[in-house]
Amino acid sequence: MLNLLKSELFRMRKRPQTWLLLVVAALFMALFYGGPTVATFFANDANAADLKQNISLVDIRDFGLSLNSLFGGIMLAIFAAGLFGNEYSWNTIRPLLARARSRSALLTAKLSAALLYTVAFTFALAALTVLFSFISTMVAGGDWGFTGERLLDVVWYTFGLVAVNLPYVALAMLAAMWAKSNAAGIGVAIGLSILEPSLFGIFGRFSFVEDIQKGGLNQNTVDLLSNGLTSGDGWINLIVTLIYTGIFVALAYRVFLRRDVTSG
């Protein structure tokens, strides 16, 4: 499995998409911070003060890192779907399988690569967010609001972001493998993240639906980020999120180990 993981990481490193996704997410982040920073020069005092607080480290969870959650999630779904979808579209899955000591070893290597990328991507984007916050505050002339405690909070929050992204990453991989298509993986993962809260929003007036919603993936990811990993409820949300991840991973093993690979 380690050999296959090395091969995955080698290809990840050499693939432009790996870096492009981070660059695109960083550009969005730069715009997200750049806009309010410029606006502080034209806004009245009260509004400028609000904007300066937004771009400082004080509001980073609700401001910059919320974007990390949104765009980061989309970028990671694109990446994860490509791990299998592209193998099928490039017809490289069969040669790769013929090189693997076993199918489970190949799937484990791909899941490990996805996990490593998710952690690295989320933390890199969080670090860039902190950097943009710092630069914006310097330009706008406010107080950055830096304390060690706040930085630690960012680190914990970023761990939460990783956990929130994991089930969607696993789902994107599962769907891309199942359908042998990149688009299917991206569509299902992003679709679920949009559809689930929308459906619960529509049917949430019924009490039994409210109970179901509490066990839903979206509700638990939202609660995990708001409760944080420093509270007991946050850990329950984390466990539920990881259970969903586990279900998607188990399904991926079931599909991949049983399937005849006749194309790709």
Partner 1 sequence: MSATGQSQHTTGIAPTTGIAGVGRRGQVLEGPVLQAIGLTKQFKQFTAVDNLSFDVHQGEVLGFLGPNGAGKSTTVGMILGLIKPTSGSVKIAGVDLTSDSSLVAEHIGAIIENPAFYPYLSGRDNLVAHALAVGDVPESRIEDLLKLVNLTERAKDKFKNYSLGMKQRLGIASTLLTEPSLVILDEPTNGLDPAGQREIREIIPRLADEGHSVLLASHMLHEVEQVSDRVAIVRRGRLITEGSVDDMLRRGGYIEVLVPGVDPEAAARVLRRVPVVEQVTIENGRLLVVAPDDAGQALNRALFEQQLIASSIAVKHSTLEDLFLELTEEPQAGA
The yes or no reply on residue 46 touching partner 1 (CB under 8 A) is no
User: Are 66 and 126 a contacting pair, CB within 8 Å?
Assistant: no
Q: Is 254 among the residues that bind partner 1 (CB under 8 A)? A: no
Residue with smaller CB distance to partner 1, 234 or 264: 264
| Least distance CB 150 / partner 1 (angstroms) | 40
Q: Which residues contact 183 (CB under 8 A, 6 or more apart)?
A: 81, 85
CB count in 10 Å sphere of residue 191? 14
- In terms of residues, how long is the chain? 264
Least separation in angstroms between residue 99's CB and partner 1 is 4
| Among the listed residues 4, 57, 58, 60, the single contact to partner 1 using CB under 8 A | 4
**Minimum distance of partner 1 from residue 262's CB (angstroms):** 6
Q: In whole angstroms, what is the distance from residue 147 CA to residue 145 CA?
A: 6
Residue 96 within binding range of partner 1, rule CB under 8 A: yes
- Contact between 7 and partner 1 by CB under 8 A: the answer reads yes
Q: Does 103 bind partner 1 (CB under 8 A)?
A: yes
Name the CA dihedral angle for 214, 215, 221, 227, rounded to a multiple of 10 degrees: 50
What is the number of other CB atoms lying within 10 angstroms of the CB of residue 27?
12
Asked if residue 92 binds partner 1 (CB under 8 A), the reply is yes
**107: which 2 tokens?**
């799937």
Q: Between 10 and 41, name the residue whose CB sits nearer to partner 1.
A: 10
